[in-house]
């Protein structure tokens, strides 16, 4: 099923000409309304008249998260505050939050794109959408909420937390679609088991998970433990919130990014240059319909590649491959680039390993160390030490073989790694405090 | 002829051992024999208790990873070469001892040793055929 046939299946040439038209409109607007862009464009000695084709886009300077921080709170807004009907912000774990504002039309488009996302993921009117993304400054909760309402589904605005109640509601209300982070989906499955609820037997059919990087193995884990089809959704508050891109249920491979509203590019995060077609790099997005905060060439820090081959679902919009990490989450351990998602893939390929793990990066005698904490469960536990040591060695070896990094595996007691009701904290980098 | 033993995974941090004994004590479970094997990161506590299943349930409810294994309790003559004689019999039949620990009995001239074998049934057969006394589980739980 497709929510908006006219736009989602637009021929490629039509997408390109629509993008160019909307890009020019956006550039005209920001170069007048946003001081930062006036400065950036004049520093780059580029006039808007020079942007004649989509390829010219790469002549424009990037926008960084730091730009949003430097212009905290309202400096990036392209419209007066009286046209802004909603304000969201990122958590601001590394400083001031990044603030974003939406006009009425922005909210309307967001709802439309989220409705497209729900339909692409296999949801429809009549679904009972259990929305366990946090409501509040975080965009997840309200983004999914408005989209679900636009779709005409019944939304349960659960927000995050209060896990026991989530399970009760899911059971009593007959939730058919679950929206939450992938780690919370697994946490819910685990908690349901403890409550004596077989989540697999509930009417739950689809999970729509995003807001943190996850692996294909984690998808299988979620699909098996919850008895659902787990779909990957992508978004970021700076660009819109959830619903920037979504997997289609037909392929479950690659996330269609709504190209009538965003222009995606992939660059080399070190050099800022575009990578050859189909190669991995950092995703850069330009918004071409946003009014509140239009962003030109925003560096998302997310690592992916573009899949341009036509999709069997009929949508013509390109796909982003599942995010394989973040260019700024990338750990450099003794000179080797390591993404937590790569370690996750290794762990999940070993039978019996719990989905809960944590990476502790530290430095001892001027050398980086990586400790992988893995929870022991009944399946992996043995009363013989050599069996457990074999498991540790197995993990160490697989990580070494795949990533070239030597790690120490620490087996820990079940539930000893903190569960998160939002985004899981997978990495503790103690080097940052040294 | 087999004895049920429970094993508990214990992270190497203070208070965990105390927590296990507290859970068992609060549930009215008595420990009959115990051994702790440890590495730098974790330990495995092996216990023979008077109520195996109840102990397992309570420990699991308190978040511990527990499993149940079958071990063999053997009476060993309390004299020089008493243990050696038994190990020689096992060796002759290629039965491997995974681990073992002694069980302290209050009043008896014989010592009791708990064995974990790679082949439990075969070990019992060989030992009894060689007139070694293998004790029943019930005897150990209620001693």
Q: Note the pLDDT tens digit of each residue in A134-185.
A: 999 999 999 999 999 999 999 999 998 899 999 999 999 999 999 998 888 9
Q: Does B128 touch chain A (CB under 8 A)?
A: no
Q: How confident is the model at residue B105 (pLDDT cuts 50, 70, 90)?
A: low
Count of Cβ atoms closer than 10 Å to residue A405 Cβ: 20
Q: Which residues of A touch B42 (CB under 8 A)?
A: 376, 388, 411-412
* ipTM attached to this prediction: 0.84
A303, containing H or E segment: strand A298-304
B44 vs A: CB within 8 A: yes
- For residue B6, the distance in angstroms to the closest alpha carbon of chain A comes to 8
- Cα–Cα distance, A303 to A85 (Å, whole number): 32
Q: What is the average per-residue pLDDT within B116-124?
A: 93
Taking the Cβ of residue B15 and every Cβ of chain A, the question of whether any pair is shorter than 8 Å is answered with no
Q: Does B138 touch chain A (CB under 8 A)?
A: no
The answer to whether the Cβ–Cβ distance between A378 and B65 falls below 8 Å is yes
* pLDDT-derived band at B142, boundaries 50, 70, 90: confident
- Count the Cβ atoms, other than its own, within 10 Å of residue B38: 12
- Give the dihedral sign, CA A262/A267/A273/A275: negative
Nearest by CB: B41 against A377, A410, A414: A410
pLDDT digits (tens, 9 = 90+) for A112-129: 999 999 999 999 999 999
**For the segment A3-56, what is each residue's pLDDT rounded down to a tens digit?**
999 999 999 999 999 999 999 999 999 999 999 999 999 999 999 889 999 999
- More reliable by pLDDT, A332 or A375: A375
B interface test, pick of A372, A379, A383 with most B CB neighbours within 10 Å:
A383
Give the H/E segment covering residue A233. Answer: strand A229-236
Report pLDDT digits (tens) over A336-371: 778 888 898 899 888 888 778 999 999 887 778 999
Does residue B104 carry a pLDDT above 60? yes
Position A91 confidence tier, pLDDT thresholds 50, 70, 90: low
In the predicted structure, residue A85 carries a pLDDT above the cut 80 = yes
CA quadruple A330, A334, A335, A340: dihedral, nearest 10? -20
A388 to B64: CB separation less than 8 angstroms, yes or no: no
In this prediction, residue A333 carries a pLDDT of 84
Find the residue in B nearest to A195 (Cα).
B61
pLDDT at position A212 = 75
Which residues of chain A have a CB within 8 Å of the CB of B37? 385
Helices (H) and strands (E) in chain B, counts: 5, 7
Q: What is residue B6's predicted lDDT score, i.e. its pLDDT?
A: 95
Residues of A with CB under 8 A from a CB of B: 376-378, 381-385, 388-389, 410-416
| Mean per-residue pLDDT of chain A | 92
pLDDT (0 to 100) of residue A297: 98
Predicted TM-score (pTM) of the model is 0.73
Interface check B21 vs A, CB under 8 A: no
Q: How far is A412 from chain B (nearest CA, A)?
A: 6
Q: Are A159 and A133 in contact (CB under 8 A)?
A: yes
B46 contacts in chain A (CB < 8 Å): 383
SS3 label, residue B75: strand
Give yes or no for residue A93 having a pLDDT over 60: no
Q: How far apart are CA A164 and CA B12, in angstroms?
A: 31
Minimum Cα–Cα distance from B44: chain A residue: A383
Cβ of A414 within 8 Å of Cβ of B63? The answer is: yes
Contact B39 A385 (CB under 8 A): yes
Give the minimum alpha-carbon distance from A411 to chain B in angstroms, rounded to a whole number.
7
Q: What is the reported pLDDT for A10?
A: 97
Tell me the shortest Cα–Cα distance from B84 to chain A, in angstroms.
23
Q: Strand runs (DSSP E) across A105-211, as ranges?
A: 128-131, 154-156, 177-180, 206-209
Res A327: pLDDT: 77
Question: Is there a contact between A369 and A363 (Cβ–Cβ < 8 Å)?
Answer: yes
- Cβ neighbours of A13 (radius 10 Å): 8
Size of interface A-B (CB pairs under 8 A): 49
The whole-number pLDDT of residue A419 equals: 78
CA distances from B112 to A383, B33, B48, B108 (A): 20, 10, 13, 10
Scanning every residue of chain A, which has its alpha carbon at the shortest distance from the alpha carbon of B99?
Answer: A384
Contact predicate A343/A355, CB 8 Å: no
- Cross-chain Cβ contact B39/A414 below 8 Å: no
Candidates B42, B101, B118, partner chain A, best to mutate (most A CBs within 10 A): B42
User: In B, which residues are within 8 Å of A411 by CB distance?
Assistant: 9, 11, 41-42
Chosen for mutation from B12, B43, B65 (greatest number of chain A CBs closer than 10 Å) is: B65
- Give, for A165, the enclosing helix (H) or strand (E): helix A163-173
Do the chains contact at A383 and B46, CB–CB below 8 Å?
yes
Which of A311-325, A336-350, B108-122 is predicted most confidently?
Answer: A311-325
């Amino acid at each position: 099923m497709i929510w908006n046939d006219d736009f989602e299946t637009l021929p490629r040439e039509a997408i390109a000409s629509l993008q160019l038209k909307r890009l020019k409109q956006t550039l005209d607007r920001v170069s007048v309304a946003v001081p930062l862009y006036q400065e950036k464009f004049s520093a780059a000695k580029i006039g808007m008249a020079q942007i004649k084709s989509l390829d010219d886009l790469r002549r424009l300077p990037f926008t960084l998260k730091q730009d949003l921080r430097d212009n905290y709170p309202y400096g990036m807004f392209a419209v007066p505050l009286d046209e802004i009907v909603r304000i969201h912000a990122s958590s601001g774990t590394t400083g001031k939050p990044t603030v974003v504002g939406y006009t009425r039309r922005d909210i309307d488009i967001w709802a439309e794109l989220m409705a497209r996302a729900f339909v692409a993921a296999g949801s429809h009117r009549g679904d009972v959408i259990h929305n366990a993304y946090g409501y509040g400054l975080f965009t997840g909760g309200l983004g999914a909420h408005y989209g679900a309402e636009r779709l005409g589904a019944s939304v349960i605005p659960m927000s995050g937390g209060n896990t026991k109640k989530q399970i009760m509601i899911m059971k009593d209300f007959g939730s058919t679609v679950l929206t939450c982070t992938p780690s919370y989906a697994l946490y819910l499955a685990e908690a349901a088991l403890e409550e004596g609820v077989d989540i697999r037997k509930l009417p739950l059919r689809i999970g729509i998970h995003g807001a943190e990087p996850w692996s294909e193995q984690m998808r299988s884990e979620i699909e098996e433990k919850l008895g659902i089809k787990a779909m990957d959704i992508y978004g970021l508050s700076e660009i819109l919130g959830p619903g920037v891109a979504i997997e289609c249920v037909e392929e479950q491979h690659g996330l269609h990014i709504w190209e009538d509203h965003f222009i995606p590019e992939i660059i080399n995060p070190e050099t800022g240059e575009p990578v050859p077609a189909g190669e991995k790099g950092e995703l850069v997005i330009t918004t071409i319909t946003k009014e509140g905060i239009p962003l030109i060439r925003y560096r998302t820090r997310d690592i992916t590649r573009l899949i341009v081959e036509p999709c069997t679902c009929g949508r013509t919009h390109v796909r982003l491959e599942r995010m394989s990490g973040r260019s700024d989450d990338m750990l450099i351990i003794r000179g080797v680039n390591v993404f937590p998602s790569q370690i996750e893939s290794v762990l999940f390929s070993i039978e019996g390993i719990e989905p809960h793990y944590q990476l502790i990066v530290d430095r001892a005698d001027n050398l980086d160390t990586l400790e992988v904490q893995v929870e022991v469960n009944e399946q992996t536990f043995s009363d013989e030490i050599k069996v457990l040591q074999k498991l540790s060695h197995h993990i160490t070896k697989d990580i070494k073989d795949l990533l070239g990094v030597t790690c120490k595996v620490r087996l820990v007691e079940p539930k000893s790694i903190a569960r998160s009701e939002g985004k899981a904290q997978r990495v503790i980098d103690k080097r940052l405090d040294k | 002829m087999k004895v049920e033993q429970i094993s508990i995974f214990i992270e190497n941090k203070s208070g965990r051992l105390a927590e296990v004994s507290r859970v068992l004590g609060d549930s009215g479970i008595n420990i009959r024999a115990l051994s702790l094997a440890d590495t730098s990161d974790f330990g495995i506590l092996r216990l023979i208790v008077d109520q195996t299943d109840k102990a397992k349930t309570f420990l699991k409810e308190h978040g511990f990873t527990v499993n149940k294994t079958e071990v063999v309790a053997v009476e060993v003559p309390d004299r020089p070469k008493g243990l050696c004689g038994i190990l020689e019999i096992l060796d002759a039949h290629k039965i491997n001892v995974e681990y073992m620990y002694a069980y302290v009995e209050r009043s008896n001239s014989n010592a009791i040793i708990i064995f974990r074998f790679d082949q439990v049934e075969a070990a019992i057969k060989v030992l009894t055929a060689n007139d070694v006394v293998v004790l029943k589980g019930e005897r150990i739980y209620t001693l």
